[in-house]
Amino acid sequence: MEADAQSRHPFLSFMLWWLLIGNVISAVTSPFLLTSIRRGSVPDFPDWVGWPFAVISVLAAICVAALFQWKRWGFYGYAVTALMIFTLNVYAGVSVGAAILGFVGTIFLFIALHVGGGNKAWPKLK
C-alpha cells in the first residue's frame, strides 16, 4: 500500500506544514530583517549573515517537501540544515545556549515521525 496523506498522523501533518511555512517565511525575510532583529541581543551581528540564513531556509523547505513525499533523506537533510544554522549563529556571536534552541524544530519533527502507533511515519519513509 502506498503511503499517502490519509495515513499521515495529524501531528506530523501539522509539523510538516508548520516547518514548511516557517522556512519559506524565513527564506524571504532573513536577508532584510534578521540583522536588525539580532543586533538587539548581539551588537556585532554581521550584516551578511541574513543571506546564508535565507539559502539554508530554502534547503530546509526542500527537505520538508521531501518528507511530504515520504523521503527519509528529507529528515536527515533537515537535521543538517539545523546544524548549519546553529554553526552560523555561533559564528555570528549568538550564545551556544540560544543557538541550541534552533534544534527544537528538529526534535519535534523527529518525535512527529515516531508517534502514531501503527500509523508511524518513520517506517513508511523510503
Residue 1 in this model has a pLDDT that exceeds 50: no
pTM: 0.89
The pLDDT value given to residue 40 = 76
Q: Residue 14 contacts by C-beta under 8 Å, 6 or more apart in sequence?
A: 112
Distances (CA, A) of 86 to 39, 48, 63, 109: 17, 16, 17, 17
Tens digit of each residue's pLDDT (9 = 90 or more) over 46-97:
888 889 999 999 999 999 999 999 999 999 999 999 999 999 999 988 899 9
Is residue 56 within 8 A of residue 80, CB to CB? The reply is no
What's the grid cell of residue 31? 536577508
Confidence of residue 33 (pLDDT cuts 50, 70, 90): confident
- Domain spans in the chain, listed from the N-terminal domain onward: 8-124
**Mean pLDDT, the chain, as a whole number?**
91
